[in-house]
Amino acid sequence: MNETLFIGTSALEQVARIAHQPAVSSIIVLVDTHTARLCLPLLEYHLPAGYTLIEIPAGEEFKTLATCENVWQTLTGIQADRHALVINLGGGVVTDLGGFAAAIYKRGIRFVQVPTTLLAQVDASVGGKTAVDFIGFKNQLGVFQEPAAVCIDPRFLQTLDPRQLKSGYAEVVKHWLIADAEAFNRNRLIGVLGISDWASIIEESVALKQRIVAQDPLENGLRKLLNFGHTVGHALESYLLQQPGREILHGEAVAAGMMCEAWLSHEEGLLTQAELEQIETFLFSVFEKVQFISLETEAIAEYARQDKKNSGGVINCTLLQGIGNGVYDQPVTLPEIAASLQHYHRL
């Protein structure tokens, strides 16, 4: 396991170790309205007195440059220098945005990720990606910047409602589908409600992601495997984010995206009908169907034009060549994406 990654009930002690280093000139804790109430009390015990608290609104719709500007204004107002430390306490929005804000401020200050949702613990906070959404497109602006540490305490999962827990579980399933067929076959018989040992699930999932990231930190090749479910998923999430009252969680979009991209894999002759049905049956046993009408599929597919894996106008997708074996840089067309959404709509 990476020497800057800590998992377990003693993980917050590592936050304290970093925060108390003499070189740290000031400490800023970034939270959202949920983690300020539910999670900060657990972290606060480990922090020195005199830190600055920045609270942002909760929700993907606030993962924007405007929110970053508020963070930067506060940092500037307290005269935070390049030796300041930002501690991001929250889910994927907080860790993504907080990491991005820290990486940009004064050309980069150190930050620690303390993820509080399952999605952030197994995916968003690990791997050095930071980003914000821009003009309706997911993670359109961002940089690669490794945090000083990622400190994962499974106790934070007790603050989540079932919907948030399931959302994070989608990223766990993604890891199984691209690289661990045995884990998928074992866990699809259990389901999310049958899991009691989340620490082990987190450790296994993070270890799998880290093995991939270590070989391709800047996503030039192998790391693209981690985008399975995200080409269609991000398009669906971005489209619905522009429809007030229809917003969905990231993991819900990824679950739908995985079903669409599994169908595309089957259409390309990479996945058998039996494997496709196993994936669809399992994901539908955990996730409710995302609602849209068939007439919207082309408009949703259009959002894939902005996918970060695209090259030379070609939409590149990660597909499955059998369960547990992802393959990246697979070209797909907008009509094929729309057809996959039509298939999902009919299920």
Catalytic residues: 107, 129, 171, 209, 219, 223, 227, 230, 234, 250
CB within 8 A of 295, min separation 6: which ones? none
Written as six digits, the tokens of 97 are: 């945005």
Amino acid at 169: Y
Long-range CB pairs of 135-144, under 8 A, 24+ apart, other chains included: 136/238, 136/241, 136/242, 137/238, 137/303, 137/306, 138/234, 138/237, 138/238, 139/96, 139/234, 139/308, 140/306, 141/65, 141/100, 142/96, 142/100, 143/100, 143/103, 143/104, 144/217, 144/218, 144/219
Half-sphere exposure of residue 24: CA atoms within 13 angstroms, side-chain side: 21
In this structure, what token pair is assigned to residue 95? 């860790």
In one letter, which amino acid is 195? I
CA distances, 340 to each of 119, 143, 190, 232 (Å): 25, 31, 27, 9
Q: How many CB atoms lie within 10 A of CB 49?
A: 6
- Decide if 340 contacts 257 (C-beta within 8 A): no
What secondary structure does DSSP assign to 6-65, as a single string?
A: EESTTHHHHHHHHHT-TT---EEEEEEHHHHHHTHHHHHTTSPTTPEEEEE--SGGG-SH
Torsion angles phi and psi, residue 118, rounded to 5: -60, -40
